[in-house]
């Protein structure tokens, strides 16, 4: 990999990508273009998300949806927009998205990359103005270029990702991604329509005092998880859980904390999707010096068997994860 350049905070995403081209594992330029295509779709979704509340009164305001699209659910719009951006960008041959059961082919069979994406995670929060996010994961295809991508291209395993990231549509809109050479974050400036480098080479704190879990499921958790959570409470940690993975993850990444989605009777394998939630967040976490496990192994080593498989996940500060692992190791045969 090329020498990491200490680039000044405040440069645009485009210039950052150009300057760091050499540092990318694949300096050929296609991955750079792919990241630009994702950023473009993020700008469009940002606009849609920010006016979501106005949908029902658009007519009254005399403004209409410029594309003339009949107003659909925002996650459907996000899905359409990301597929269109990746199709038009030309660098992606196929997509797995949370919104569709099967592979979406872009028509660019010669393209080098496949993308797994959750176009708008936490979309149940849109109507109540809670932050939501896009999560994406990129692989170099393993099947011959010029042919149709297959399951094999998407089920390579978490450590084969060449890039992963998220866009958080929150108090500001921020794009965070890694290509395996550290994690960088870019904050969107609406008036200029540009992402600017705001957090360079993000390193997550070694320890934390925030735990994020749906406490409503507490009684369903395995004993070792319950004991871990009780210990967090005893140490007067802050319980912060907004029901939107990207928002909870981003806060914990910057401040130090742990997010837990353990198995429950309703989700015996865990709720989050491996390909486009767990793997990308785990890649980012590890690149920022944090950890992501499911208590059996690192998330990035969990074997993928299907596009939409679910997995449990514990992700965050290394010291907090190691402590949870200790409880796991000491677990008895609890009835």
Q: Can you tell me the distance from the alpha carbon of 70 to that of 101, in angstroms, rounded to the nearest whole number?
A: 23
175: which strand partners?
A: 167, 186
Q: Is 118 annotated to bind ligand?
A: yes
Cα 320 to Cα 162, 289, 294, distances in angstroms: 27, 13, 13
> Does residue 75 belong to the site contacting ligand P6P (CB under 6 A)?
no
Q: How far is the CB of 32 from ligand P6P (least distance, A)?
A: 29
Residue closer to ligand P6P (CB basis): 99 or 153: 99
Which residue number, 141 or 271, has a Cβ lying nearer to ligand P6P? 271
How many residues in the shown chain lie near ligand P6P by CB under 6 A? Answer: 9
271 among annotated binding-site residues: yes
Tell me the closest approach of the beta carbon of residue 260 to ligand P6P, in angstroms. 10
Element (H, E) at 165: strand 163-169
CB of 193 to ligand P6P, least distance (A): 27
276 vs 327, which CB is nearer to ligand P6P?
Answer: 276
Q: Strand order of the sheet with strand 238-239? A: 238-239, 210-212, 258-261, 313-316, 291-293
Q: Is 323 annotated as a binding residue?
A: no
Please list every residue from 264 through 283 that binds ligand P6P, using CB under 6 A: 271-272
Question: What is the residue-wise DSSP string for 190-258?
Answer: TTTTEEEEEE-S----SS-SEEE--GGGGGGS-HHHHHHHHHHHHTT-EE---S-HHHHHHHHHHH--E
Q: Are 286 and 200 in contact (CB under 8 A)?
A: no
Say whether 121 counts as a known binding-site residue. Answer: yes
In angstroms, rounded to a whole number, what is the distance separating the alpha carbons of residues 304 and 297? 13
243 binds ligand P6P (CB under 6 A): yes
User: Does 137 carry a binding-site annotation?
Assistant: no
Q: Please indicate if the annotation marks 131 as binding a ligand.
A: no
Q: Which is nearer to ligand P6P, 55 or 242 (CB)?
A: 242
Give the binding range for ligand P6P (CB under 6 A) out of 1-9, 165-173, 244-252, 306-314. 244-252
User: For ligand P6P, which residue of 244, 252, 287, 311 counts as binding (CB under 6 A)?
Assistant: 244
Applying the rule CB under 6 A, the residues between 183 and 242 that interact with ligand P6P are 214
Binding to ligand P6P (CB under 6 A) within 111-150 occurs at 121-122
Radius of gyration of the chain (CA): 20
Return the number of the residue (16 or 283) whose C-beta is nearest ligand P6P.
283
Residues 293 and 325: beta-carbon distance below 8 Å: yes
124 is in an annotated binding site: yes
Nearest residue (CB) to ligand P6P, 108 versus 311? 311
- Other C-beta atoms closer than 10 Å to the C-beta of 17 total 22
Q: Which residues contact 246 (CB under 8 A, 6 or more apart)?
A: 121, 122, 131, 132, 133, 134, 135, 166, 167, 168
Binding site as annotated, residues for substrate:
121-124, 214, 241, 259-261, 271
Question: Which residues contact ligand P6P (rule: CB under 6 A)?
Answer: 121-122, 214, 243-245, 248, 271-272
Binding site as annotated, residues for Mg(2+):
98, 118, 120-121, 277
């Amino acid at each position: 990999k090329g020498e990491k350049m200490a680039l000044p905070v405040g440069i645009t995403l485009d210039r950052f990508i150009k300057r760091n081209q050499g540092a990318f594992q694949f300096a050929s330029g296609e991955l750079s273009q792919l990241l630009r295509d994702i950023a473009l779709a993020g700008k469009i979704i940002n606009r849609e998300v920010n006016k979501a509340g106005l949908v029902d009164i658009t007519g009254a305001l005399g403004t209409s949806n410029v594309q003339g699209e009949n107003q659909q659910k925002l996650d459907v719009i996000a899905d359409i927009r990301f597929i269109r951006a990746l199709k038009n960008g030309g660098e992606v041959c196929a997509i797995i998205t949370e919104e569709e059961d099967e592979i979406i082919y872009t028509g660019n069979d010669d393209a080098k990359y496949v993308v797994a994406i959750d176009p708008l995670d936490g979309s149940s929060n849109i109507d109540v103005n809670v932050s939501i996010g896009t999560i994406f994961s990129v692989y170099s295809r393993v099947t011959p270029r010029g042919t149709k991508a297959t399951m094999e291209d998407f089920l390579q395993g978490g450590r084969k990702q060449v890039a992963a990231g998220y866009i958080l549509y929150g108090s500001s809109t921020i794009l965070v991604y890694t290509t395996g050479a550290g994690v960088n974050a870019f904050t969107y400036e609406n008036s200029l329509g540009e992402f600017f480098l705001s957090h360079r080479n993000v390193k997550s704190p070694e320890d934390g005092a925030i735990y994020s879990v749906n406490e409503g499921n507490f009684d369903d958790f395995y004993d070792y998880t319950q004991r871990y959570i009780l210990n967090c409470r005893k140490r007067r940690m802050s319980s912060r859980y907004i029901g939107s993975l990207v928002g909870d993850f981003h806060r914990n990444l910057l401040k130090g904390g742990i997010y837990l989605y353990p198995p429950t009777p309703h989700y015996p394998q865990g709720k989050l999707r491996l390909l486009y939630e767990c793997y990308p967040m785990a890649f980012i976490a590890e690149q920022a010096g944090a950890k992501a496990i499911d208590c059996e192994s690192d998330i990035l080593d969990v074997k993928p068997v299907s596009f939409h498989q679910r997995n449990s996940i514990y992700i965050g500060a290394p010291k907090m994860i190691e402590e949870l692992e200790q409880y796991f190791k000491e677990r008895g045969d609890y009835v």
